A and B are shown apart, each in its own frame.
Chain A
Amino acid sequence: MTAPDTLTPVLTATWADERSWTLDSYTASGGYEGLRRALTMSPDDVIAEVKDSGLRGRGGAGFPTGMKWGFIPQDNPKPKYLVVNADESEPGTCKDVPLMMASPHTLVEGVIISCFAIRAHTAFIYIRGEVLHVVRRVQAAVAEAYAAGHLGRDIHGSGFDLDVVVHAGAGAYICGEETALLEGLEGRRGQPRLRPPFPAVAGLYASPTVINNVESIASVPSIVRHGAAWFASMGTEKSKGFGIFSLSGHVTRPGQYEAPLGITLRELIGLAGGIREGHELKFWTPGGSSTPLLTAEHLDLPLDFEGMAAAGTMLGTRAIQLFDETTCVVRAVLRWTEFYKHESCGKCTPCREGTWWLVQTLAALERGQGSEADLDLLLDQCDNILGRSFCALGDGATSPITSSIRFFREEYLAHLTHGGCPFDAARSTAWAGQEALA
Chain B
Amino acid sequence: MSDVEQRTDLVSVTIDGIQVSVPRDTLVIRAAEQVGVQIPRFCDHPLLAPVGACRQCLVDVPDAGNGRGFPKPQASCTLPVAEGMVVQTQATSEVADKAQQGVMEFLLVNHPLDCPVCDKGGECPLQNQAMSNGRGESRFAGSGSGGVKRTFPKPINLSPQVLLDRERCIVCQRCTRFAEEIPGDPFIALVERGAQQQIGIAEDAPFLSYFSGNTIQICPVGALTSESYRFRSRPFDLVSSPSVAEHDACGAAIRVDHRRGKVMRRLAGNDPEVNEEWITDKDRFAFTYATQPDRITYPRVRDRVEDGGDGSLRPASWPEAFAVAARGLAAAGACAVLPGGRVTAEDAYAYAKLARVSLGTNDVDFRARPLSAEEESFLAGHVVLTGPGDGGVTYADLERASSVVLVGLEPEEEAGTLFLRLRKASRRGLRVVSIAPFATRGLRKLSGTLVQTVPGREPGALRELLGHADHGIDSRAVVLLGERLATVPGAYTAAAELAARTGARLAWVPRRAGDRGALEAGCLPSLLPGGRPVADAAARVDAATSWGVESVPETPGRDADAIVAALLTGEVGGLVVGGVDPDDTADPDATRRAVEAARFVVALELRETEVTRAADVVFPVTPVVGKAGTFVTWEGRPRPFEAVLAEAGALPDLRVLSGIAEELARLGRGAPLGFRTVAEVRAEMAEIGPWDGERATFAPMSALDTPSTDDPLTTAGGAPGSVLATWKQLLDDGAMQAGDKHLAATARPAVARVPRTVLDALGPVVTLTGDRGSVTLPAEAADLPDGVVWVPTRSSGRGVLADLASPGARVTVKGAEL
Contact = CB atoms under 8 A, between A and B. Distances in A.
A172 interface: yes
B690 to A, nearest CB: 50
B52 A390 contact: yes
A388 B195 contact: no
Interface stretch (A75-83, A142-150, A339-347, A419-427): A339-347
Interface string A256-279: 000000000000000000000000
Interface stretch (A42-50, A323-331, A360-368): A360-368
A14 interface: no
Contacts of B171: 346-347, 352
Interface stretch (B31-39, B100-108, B430-438, B461-469): B100-108
Contact of A389 (B55, B71, B145): B55
Interface of B: 50-56, 58, 71-73, 78, 98-99, 102-103, 105-107, 109-110, 139-140, 143-145, 147-148, 150, 170-171, 189-190, 192-197
A189 B189 contact: yes
A173 B54 CA distance: 20
Contacts of A342: 194
A90 interface: no
18 contacts: A172-B193, A345-B194, A349-B56, A350-B103, A352-B106, A356-B150, A356-B195, A357-B109, A360-B148, A362-B144, A364-B143, A369-B145, A383-B102, A385-B102, A388-B58, A388-B73, A388-B102, A389-B55
Contact of A347 (B53, B56, B72, B143): B53
B53 A390 contact: yes
Nearest to A389: B55
A394 B250 CA distance: 47
Given A349-B106, A360-B143, 4 more contacts: A189-B190, A344-B193, A346-B171, A384-B102
Nearest to B197: A346
Given A352-B171, A388-B72, A390-B55, A364 B110 contact: no
B105 A369 contact: no
B520 to A, nearest CB: 47
A354 B105 CA distance: 9
A352 B102 contact: no
A348 B145 CA distance: 26
B285 to A, nearest CB: 31
Nearest to A363: B144
Given A360-B148, A361-B144, A384 B103 contact: yes
Contact of A361 (B51, B52, B143, B195): B143
A190 to B, nearest CB: 9
B55 A377 contact: no
Contacts of B196: 346
A174 B99 CA distance: 23
Contact of A352 (B99, B145, B194): B194
A188 B765 CA distance: 37
Nearest to A387: B72
A342 B192 CA distance: 11
A349 to B, nearest CB: 5
A387 B171 CA distance: 20
B143 A377 contact: yes
**What is the interface of chain A mostly: helix, strand, loop, or mixed?**
helix
A349 B221 CA distance: 15
A345 B54 contact: no
5 closest A-B pairs by beta carbon, nearest first, are: A384-B102, A346-B197, A364-B144, A387-B72, A353-B106
Contacts of B103: 349-350, 384, 388
A129 to B, nearest CB: 15
A354 B139 CA distance: 12
Contacts of A377: 139, 143
B194 A350 contact: no
A384 B51 contact: no
Among B50, B109, B189, max chain A CB count under 10 A is at B109
A350 B193 contact: no
A357 B106 contact: yes
B330 to A, nearest CB: 72
A11 B471 CA distance: 58
A370 interface: yes
A156 B268 CA distance: 64
Contacts of A374: 143-144
B145 A346 contact: no
A194 B27 CA distance: 14
Among A362, A364, A367, max chain B CB count under 10 A is at A364
Contact of A353 (B98, B107, B193): B107
A264 to B, nearest CB: 29
B72 to A, nearest CB: 4
